[in-house]
Amino acid sequence: MLTSENKELTSFRTDLNSDLKLDSGLNLDDILSLAKDLPHTQQAPICKGYLRQKISDFQVLEILSFKPCGFGEHLFLQIEKQSSNTDWVIRQLIKKSGITRKDIGYAGKKDRHSISRQWFSLHLPGKSELIDTADFIEQLDGEGYRVVNHIRHNKKLRIGSILKNEFKITLREVSETIDVRTIDKVRKIGFPNYFGYQRFGRDYNNLNLANELLLDGIKINNRNKRSLVLSSARSFLFNLQLAMRVNDNTWNSVVEGDCFMLNNSRSYFSTKESSNTSTQECENEESQSIQNRLDSGDIHICGWLPGKQDSEVVLKSKELEGKSIDNMSRWIDSLSELGMDSSRRAYRTLASDLECEQKENVITISFSLPSGSYATSLLRELVDFKDLSLDP
């Protein structure tokens, strides 16, 4: 299991930020170490355990952000899948329904090593009573998945149309009693919204490919694979920024010049630098108002996903951002040259309905997260776990 003390990790990061020079060549080993050893908000948990000893130990229920209307050209399918990924299910639906890839929609991808229920849409115009027969629905079932519900809607299902994902996760062979104080803290203030290790591929190989793509200009002919590698690079750069703020103990506290994202939204706003000292009182009031909104969960500090547009942060926030990623300037320049649009991501996630039950050496944790947040990023704050699905 991966363990590290925050003090040692902080020292390592400081040394790395000082010594790593991209102009003389990127040290891939150091990048992989940074990707794996992200700091915790407090001391790393001492409670250890195993994740995914059984496929049923990781369960996900996708909740859409809207209710299908019951009529229209698109057949919505709620599918329960296990030991299969979202792309594989889509390929099976194409074969069984006879439609093309562009006629199928989904809201988000779900982990292969889980039992997950998620929604898909199939564009099947015509009289629904003649199409949506029991025989047709049944023949859509395949190995490792089955249709558990279906309904019509007048629009295609789009990526991101998720209100939340509900998780039920079991950890086994747990070494000791879980720290309820940490659970209460996560319940109250949330946890760092790191991209999970799943984002970077097996053995973090996507970062190796990103290094070759961004620095050496290798060709990745598969469009989806190339997109995944570029997304992994941006995710790593975001994690570096968030790690800096966690080490600085400001991941959840306002720093002058921050950008802020509305809760459960991708909309964000930035603070502006002002040299007018006569407005100092107003600025103080605004700063306190922002901190109050942050404390209430209405907004979150957000970090930069690099692209061709510059980051909007200024002042102290810009200084911290620079310290975290300036040594990755060649990656950032390459992402800009490739024409990728910049975006932002919240530094914090709030888990709703967080509950934990421990019976001897088995822990069951249930909670809900907004779309795009990783359950394993919450788990790592509570338990030092080993994910058995990563074993060869």
Nearest to 49 by CA among 356, 322, 295: 356
Structural tokens at position 141: 């079932």
**pLDDT digits 0-9 by tens, 208-247:** 999 999 999 999 999 989 999 999 999 999 999 999 999 9
Is 57 annotated as catalytic? no
State percent of the chain over pLDDT 70. 91
Q: Is the pLDDT of residue 200 over 70?
A: yes
Catalytic member of 30, 37, 103, 111 = 111
Question: What distance in Å separates the CA atoms of residue 262 and residue 348, rounded to the nearest whole number?
Answer: 11
| β-strand pairing of 58-64 with 162-172 | antiparallel
How many CA atoms within 13 Å lie on the side-chain side of 305? 17
For residue 334, pLDDT beyond 60: yes
Find out whether 340 and 234 touch, Cβ atoms under 8 Å.
Answer: yes
Name the least confident of 6-20, 150-164, 329-343.
Answer: 6-20
Residue 52 token pair: 């995914």
pLDDT score of 16 more than 90:
no
The structure tokens 């794996």 sit at 36
Region of 378 please: left (phi>0), alpha (psi -120 to 50) or beta: alpha
What DSSP string describes 63-99? EESS---S-SSEEEEEEEEES--HHHHHHHHHHHH--
Helix ranges, 3-85 (H):
6-19, 28-36
Q: What digits encode the pLDDT tens for the residues 354-380?
A: 999 999 999 999 999 999 999 999 999
Instruction: Report pLDDT for 282.
Output: 75
Structure-token match 């919204």, residue found: 193
Domains of the chain by range and CATH? 6-37+191-349 (3.30.2340.10), 66-159 (3.30.2350.20)
Would you state the structure tokens that stand for residue 297, as one six-digit string? 């969960």
Please state the rounded mean pLDDT for residues 251-272: 92
Q: How confident is the prediction for the chain on average, in pLDDT?
A: 91
- Is the confidence at residue 22, as pLDDT, over 80? no
Q: Check pLDDT > 50 for residue 24.
A: no
Q: Are 327 and 22 in contact (CB under 8 A)?
A: yes
d(CA 386, CA 377): 13
Q: 206-228 in b/e burial notation, b at 16+ Cβ within 10 A?
A: bbbbbbebbeeeeebeeeeeeeb
Q: Are strands 58-64 and 115-123 parallel, antiparallel or unpaired?
A: parallel
Question: Is the per-residue pLDDT at 260 higher than 70?
Answer: yes
Model pLDDT, residue 302 = 98
